[in-house]
């Protein structure tokens, strides 16, 4: 199993859209993981991650932790997301960004899709 690494799938939040705004120009697609290993991405601290359960039953996701400066770990574990529901996924860098600054989110089913938005600095 392999984690799906997101890079081009991360969409920058724009302050002002190009005018005129045309059909489909503001659309942002969700990304499905390849398997239950989930997704990962290099975090900047400006990401907003949305999970969407597109399946017909509840499924879970876990934000995998790494040891913080004090050696503590604590996954955000098995968060249950009902059929059709959305969740804002917490992605703190401290205690969660692992090797290469990556945040890893695993899933119980690939029906959980993700949308990762990156805010400009400053917004």
Give 79-118 pLDDT, tens digit per residue: 999 999 999 999 999 999 998 999 999 999 999 999 999 9
CA distance 122 to 32: 29
| Residue in 61, 58, 85 with CA at minimum distance from that of residue 75 | 61
| pTM for this entry | 0.90
CA distance 34 to 15: 32
Alpha-carbon dihedral angle through residues 55, 118, 122, 93, given to the nearest 10 degrees: 90
* pLDDT band at residue 32 under the 50/70/90 scheme: very high
| Residue in 37, 114, 112, 39 with CA at minimum distance from that of residue 82 | 112
Predicted local confidence at residue 123, as pLDDT: 53
**CA torsion sign, 91 to 95 to 100 to 105?**
negative
Q: Beta-carbon neighbour count of residue 16 at 10 Å? A: 5
For 94, the 3-state DSSP assignment is coil
Burial class (CB in 10 A: 0-12, 13-18, 19+), 104: buried
């Amino acid at each position: 199993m392999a984690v799906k690494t997101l890079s081009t799938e991360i969409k920058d939040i724009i302050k002002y859209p190009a005018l005129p705004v045309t059909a489909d120009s503001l659309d942002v697609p969700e990304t499905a993981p390849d398997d239950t290993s989930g997704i990962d991405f290099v975090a900047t601290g400006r990401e907003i991650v949305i999970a969407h359960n597109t399946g017909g039953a509840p499924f879970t996701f876990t934000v995998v932790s790494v040891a913080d400066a004090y050696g503590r770990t604590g996954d955000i574990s098995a968060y249950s997301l009902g059929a059709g529901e959305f969740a804002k996924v917490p992605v703190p860098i401290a205690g969660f960004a692992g090797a290469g600054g990556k945040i890893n989110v695993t899933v119980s089913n690939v029906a959980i899709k993700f949308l990762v938005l990156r805010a400009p600095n400053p917004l």
